């Protein structure tokens, strides 16, 4: 009988793990100061071997902010984005500012794995900012998975409390 709550908890944890669907990539500077801030998200299907990043989640979540506070997104016809988890991991973005006076180039991948560079340029070709760094990736659990875990844990605690009374 004592095995049932444990089995239920294992089932709920495995269901939570299986429900993960999205992954968040975040930029981290290699220097002392965080100059650029960047992130994007991909689906579970895009994180599989040899799959390219191309979902609406990926393109709509790309965000890179320069030290000057200009935020770049993939929202202009001039923008170019490519990415894949790999192997090997690769990124290549060219994103223009909303007023077309500057653009950034984000590059990462072979032979350096998750290491890369973000460079910001003026429309006339002058380099404005540059930074080396690395991308990290973390799973984003779906809210339904967290809810399932909370409901299961609550039910288990209530049942445990009721058993203790009898």
Q: What is the pLDDT along the chain (166 residues), one digit of tens a residue?
A: 455 656 655 565 555 555 546 999 999 998 767 689 999 999 999 999 889 999 999 999 999 999 989 999 998 888 999 999 888 999 999 999 988 799 999 999 988 889 999 999 999 999 999 999 999 999 987 766 667 777 888 888 888 888 888 7
pTM of the predicted structure, to 2 decimals: 0.72
Token pair belonging to 138: 């973390």
- DSSP β-bridge partners for residue 8: none
Predicted local distance difference test score (pLDDT) of residue 104: 95
Answer yes or no: is 138 within a domain: yes
CB of 120 closer than 8 Å to CB of 138 = no
- Count of domains for the chain: 1
User: Domain of 132?
Assistant: 22-157
Q: How far apart are CA 15 and CA 122, in angstroms?
A: 49
* Pair type for strands 37-43 and 22-29: antiparallel
Which residue in the block uniquely carries the two structure tokens 């890179």?
A: 64
Residue 5 lies in a domain: no
Residue 54, pLDDT score: 93
- Asked, for residue 15, whether it belongs to a domain, the answer is no
In this prediction, residue 61 carries a pLDDT of 95
With respect to residue 79, please indicate whether it lies within any of the assigned structural domains. Answer: yes
Would residue 3 count as lying in a domain? Answer: no
Distances 6 to 17, 32, 159, 160, 163 between C-alpha atoms, Å: 16, 47, 12, 11, 15
Q: Is residue 4 part of a domain?
A: no
Residue 144 covered by a domain: yes
pLDDT value for 46? 94
In angstroms, rounded to a whole number, what is the distance separating the alpha carbons of residues 165 and 143? 33
The pLDDT value given to residue 107: 95
| Residue 87 in tokens | 């192997």
- List the beta bridge partners of residue 131: 118
Distance between CA atoms of residues 132 and 112, nearest Å: 11
Q: Residue 125 domain-assigned?
A: yes
């Amino acid at each position: 009988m004592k095995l049932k709550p444990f089995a239920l908890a294992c089932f709920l944890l495995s269901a939570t793990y299986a429900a993960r669907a999205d992954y968040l990539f975040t930029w981290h500077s290699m220097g002392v100061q965080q100059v650029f801030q960047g992130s994007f998200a991909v689906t579970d299907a895009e994180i599989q071997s040899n799959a390219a990043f191309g979902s609406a989640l990926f393109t709509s979540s790309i965000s890179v902010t320069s030290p000057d506070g200009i935020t770049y997104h993939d929202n202009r016809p001039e923008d170019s984005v490519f990415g894949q988890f790999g192997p090997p991991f690769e990124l290549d973005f060219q994103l223009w500012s909303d007023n077309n006076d500057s653009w950034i180039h984000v590059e990462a991948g072979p032979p350096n794995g998750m290491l890369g560079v973000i460079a910001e340029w003026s429309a006339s070709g002058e380099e404005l900012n540059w930074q080396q760094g690395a991308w990290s990736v973390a799973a984003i659990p779906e809210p339904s998975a967290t809810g399932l875990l909370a409901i299961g844990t609550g039910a288990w605690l209530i049942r445990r409390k009721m058993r203790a009374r009898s």
